[in-house]
Structure 1
Amino acid sequence: MSNVRTWSLSKLDSLLGTCFPYQRCSYETQEEIKTYRSPLSLQKFAKEHGYFSHAPLLSFVSSSQGDLKVVQGALENTVEVDNNWLDFCVTELLCKALAYRDIALSHEIKIPVRNLQNQIFLETFVLDRIFNLWQQMPAFGWIPKNSHISSLLIFRGTDCSLTTKRSLASLFSDLDFSGPGFSVFRKAKLQIQEWLAQVHQKKKTARVLGCSLGGALAGHTFIEYYDLLSKESSVAFHPPGVFKQEKKNWNQLEKEIKQRFITYVAQGDSVSKVGSLIGNRYVLSIDAELKPLVAHTLLFAGQPLLICQNAREL
């Protein structure tokens, strides 16, 4: 079955590459280039558990405790990363790997964080809330055991399994005429606000994170509730952009607030060509042209050479 799956995905990606050529799915960048070389441990994880692999964990839903242990190991291995790239690598794993694990309430996981002295250590986070955004589409509220460390509200991206009600709901959300994920956010906003206010009062104010549809939901949440969120950056990987109403709301925010949201897009990914991207935008690429589905699901933190550039201002 895994061979059939990977063959089918490759054929689908070839078709998408014909419909959305690399040149049309590229993003203009500024001249400055930053490069990163992944430790072998993360390269191994990306190769063995990428979306196109025979044992996928990235952007692929599972409830296996064994899968969760593998993701925990990958998170711990990020301490091998150059300090300047640690936050990027950890956040990408949270959005593309941890977000796709089905986990029970009160589960604990260790995540590398920085303290006020800029020292890196493994902080224990507890799963405090599982949100039912719509039709069992989940988001996960993680709180740290120690105060003055940001909580994490992680939105899951599109579930392409097509085997559950929540999977179909996420696909319908991608096609929302008011903007991907916007109607789902409006349905769930009160429960999201309640939790954000709760952790804010505990001095464990949250960041919002997500990839793909999850990144769009993170963006909607930031625009609406930035005043309840951590001063640390909230992050979206490969999200579709916002549509007219949310773009207007974003434009009304002050510049220093806008600086607190980061969007990563990938050269070759067609998804982020939809709508208007928000936040500080960075463009990710490797030393090869990527087809749309690979570009959208690749773990860039696990590539031998990552190229990161600021997006050119629109």
Structure 2
Amino acid sequence: MANAPYRGRFAPSPTGPLHFGSLVAALGSYLEAKCHNGTWLVRMEDIDPPREMPGAADAILRTLEAYGFEWDGPVLYQSLRSGLYDAALTKLRNDGLLYPCACTRKEIMDFAMPGVDGPIYPGTCRDGLPPDRVPRAWRVRVDAAEIIFEDAIQGTMRQNLARDIGDFVLKRADGFFAYQLAVVIDDAAQGITHVVRGSDLLDSTPRQIYLQQRLDLPTPSYAHLPVATNIAGEKLSKQTLARPLELAQPVSALWQALDFLGQQPPQALAGENLAELWKWAVAHWHIEHIPKQRAIVAQDASHVSATTKP
């Protein structure tokens, strides 16, 4: 995809309002697209209803608008795309790569070894369901080949799926599609050439590359930004009670996000209007200035979660 016009995206899940960590991801993906004169899309990853908050999707879009983000084309909603995900499962099943799994979470925990992103599935149902068991989820078979990719920020990454992850779920026991499948299908469908996102998804990338290979889909370039954490080292999120972005103070928060990403914005810029800040940010964006770290503590007290108050 090296010669294709740049197409990036920001893909939030509507589990709550945007916070500083979300802003960092949105800003990094937006500026990288703009400095390449590229397209920047917004995708709402609303495929996990139990975790979603009513009204959050609309609130996210309002916040992006208030902060001066301008996306290209209509917003894509994953909840409307189940047919595409089913078609991908059918292809994998026809290729002998998909199988039903009857294991419960507790059963897996009882027998699994720890991996880089949770327990490694021990392969209990790989060769067929145990007697008197019914399928709960659908898993994809992995092999022992090492997945290697070059991340534009974090450097060369390697992962052996068989050793580090195991066969992973593509359709969950509750009937919902897994993130790993949906993101691969939609990145390909939208022609995404570059994925700029938080490093909390760095360990997921080899699974996505594996699916791209098995589904004959192109692999985008990847760049994983440092995630913002509170002083306890927890990623800012709804679960850690990260404070929502304030619609009335976009310039201050954007200045702090630029600083967080190593862009060294001048202090005077914090007192400018939104248009001037964006003008400076686009003109001075350099991805190579981003710290090559997986996580950085967000220094401003307003971004520390309520769980870490003294």
The TM-score, its normalising length taken from structure 2, stands at: 0.30
| Structure 1 or 2: more helix by fraction | 1
| TM-score, scaled relative to structure 1 | 0.30
